[in-house]
A and B are shown apart, each in its own frame.
Chain A
Amino acid sequence: MAFISLWVVALLVLVAIFAPLVAPYGTQETDYGHQLAPIGSPGHLLGTDTLGRDILSRLVFGFRTALLVAFAAEVISVLVALVVGLLAGYRGGRADGILMAATDIMYAFPTYLFAVLLVTVFGRSFWSVMAAIAVAGWVTQARLIRAQVMTLKRRDYVEAARSMDAQGPTIAMRYILPNALGPLLVTTSFAVPAAITTEAGLSLLGLGISDMPSWGAMINEGVRYASSAPHMIISPAIAFAVTLLAFTWIGDGIRDAFDITSEARR
């Protein structure tokens, strides 16, 4: 499953990168006279929406948006999480206190509400949507790294390294970090589909990036016309589901791979 998903995701990523080449039309190009064309119409493989925009093209560009936001948000949240998690887990003390306080606060906001709040305040731009997702995500990952580091810190090999007179930064970077990356990779692989979901969710509420096409917005519109023009929602919904499943199965695959090695080591 993971293997097939990997191909699916690879294909999707290529589509996103070469979106302008793949998409038959621009996202705002309207085909007057062909509004609400059904699936399979000549020139519009997946039909058109109420304004006569090509659904396939919008899907392709919408995925580009989702992927861009998700990856950018993940890169930021992983980097922040790595630094804070390492410090909190290894040094404890003040860094740990800060992380704990941040956790308490973040857990007081449901993820979506926090994102909604941020977007409300900072506007519906690419940066604020991305930041909203990153801010909502880093605490969880930082806590994971912290827990991992605290476990690894107590391993005998760290004590052995200390007895060889290795200093704190060396221990953290050379001995602890490489062994903490596995679980981080697993959570990150699950965080990407989650970020895609959040991005689409914000658009669904009308709080997405205002000048970029989004799947959430397509679903939002599609729901409104679900009874009269179901083709407007069917293809975005299916494309969305397939994408998320592919990412999830890749995550499952990565997790299983790490489970096996960690079990074999013991």
Chain B
Amino acid sequence: MIVGYLEYVARRLVRMVLSLVVVSALAFTLLQLAPGSFADIQRANSGSTGMAGAGAQEVAGEFATRYGDEVPAWQQYLVFMKGALTWDLGPSYKYPAQSVESIIAQGFPVSAALALLATTLALAIAIPIGVFAALKQRTLWDSGSMFVLTLGHALPNYLTAVFLVLVFAGAWHVLPAAGWNGPENLVLPVVALAIGPLAVLARYVRSSMLDTLGEEYVTAAIAKGGRPGVVIRKHVLRNSLIPLVTVTGPMLAALMTGTVFIETMFRIPGLGLSFTQAASSRDMPLLMGTTLFFAIILMATNLVVDLLYGLLDPRVRAESGRKLRGPRISRRDIPGADPDQGGRSGVPSLG
């Protein structure tokens, strides 16, 4: 079993590297298609981004020495990838004084901190709500909390942020509307980021709990004379929270990379903001670098999730040695499609 598991890990790693090569090549090709090629983009863009003529010249020179003038695109790609392997992504176009890797190194901790705080907040609230709603299935508690969660689920985080800003910054003046100066600047962005995932997670916990409660082994545990609390703790909670890993992991990864809107709206100097600015100013090296970095983060998270799932669930562990592909179609693929089926009758009343 151990050997199979290790082999599985190794194969997943190989596949991840292959995907990264494809992703980088694809992104590079796409950027080549943009008006103005990768290396001489600065000419096409100088002036439009408000950069001083002298500075543009200087950068142009730097680019020419790094990527070579008038060389085929695939050679530029090789140069870029060679640099990427040694964590040397070259200078940014927009901020010629800074290298792409230093921009990422500055921005990522900010985005990651937001994402971690938001995920923790979401989990801390979602699990109790989901568990409670499942145990009180078909009561006002259940339908009420699920109704409220639909609101959080349906609205994108930037819209939630708008409402939060209107209330807490606009009407009550208790929190700053934007900026990045202290802990008080964290509150609104983190809450805005957490609400969507919270809704998804709570619904997931609820339906997962209901599934587990309907299992025969729960009935069997009750038949052994277990107290409701013990049965729920030992047999229901564990088994219904294990699959949560598969949802939480990608969610955390998406938040780490996808805080774009929130960072833009609240003017937070994270990686998302850099990415957006790179896109609107056509800063190709920065775009390329961040894209690759995001891809690594997402793939690594998916890998960790699958491996963790295997460690937590003995069945998956036993199987992972044999099958290459983890359970990848998860609830997040089907927005809002977590099955809160109404008519479940197989759930025994505990107690």
Contact = CB atoms under 8 A, between A and B. Distances in A.
Nearest to B324: A100
Contacts of A190: 334-337
A227 B337 contact: no
A234 B335 CA distance: 27
Nearest to B334: A187
B264 A204 contact: yes
Contacts of A206: 276, 280
A226 B177 contact: yes
A112 to B, nearest CB: 6
Interface stretch (A12-20, A24-32, A103-111, A160-168): A103-111
Interface in B131-166: 150-151, 153-156, 158-159, 162-163, 165-166
Interface string A80-116: 0000000000000000000011011101111111001
Chain A contact residues: over half helix, strand or loop, or mixed? helix
B19 A105 contact: yes
Contacts of A111: 258
Interface string A184-222: 001100110110010011001111000000000001001
A206 B287 CA distance: 16
Interface in B247-264: 254, 257-258, 260-261, 264
B159 A219 contact: yes
Interface residues of B, number: 58
Contacts of A191: 335
Given A117-B291, A205-B264, A260-B343, A140 B333 contact: yes
A255 B337 contact: yes
Interface of B: 15, 19-20, 22-23, 26-27, 30-31, 33-35, 150-151, 153-156, 158-159, 162-163, 165-166, 169-170, 177, 254, 257-258, 260-261, 264-265, 275-276, 279-280, 282, 287, 291, 294-295, 298-299, 302, 325, 328-329, 333-337, 339, 341-343
B343 to A, nearest CB: 7
Interface of chain B, main secondary structure? helix
A121 B291 contact: no
A70 to B, nearest CB: 13
Nearest to B295: A108
B31 A121 contact: yes
A245 interface: yes
A105 B22 contact: yes
A259 interface: yes
Contacts of B169: 226-227
- What interface size band does chain A fall in? 35 or more
A84 to B, nearest CB: 15
Interface in A215-265: 219, 222-223, 226-227, 230, 233-234, 237, 240-241, 244-245, 247-249, 251-252, 255-256, 259-260, 263
B333 A116 contact: no
A134 to B, nearest CB: 16
A45 interface: no
A207 B337 contact: no
6 contacts: A108-B20, A116-B279, A117-B279, A117-B291, A237-B163, A245-B150
A59 to B, nearest CB: 14
A241 B156 CA distance: 9
Nearest to B342: A256
B2 to A, nearest CB: 26
Contact of A223 (B154, B156, B165, B260): B165
A144 interface: yes
A170 interface: no
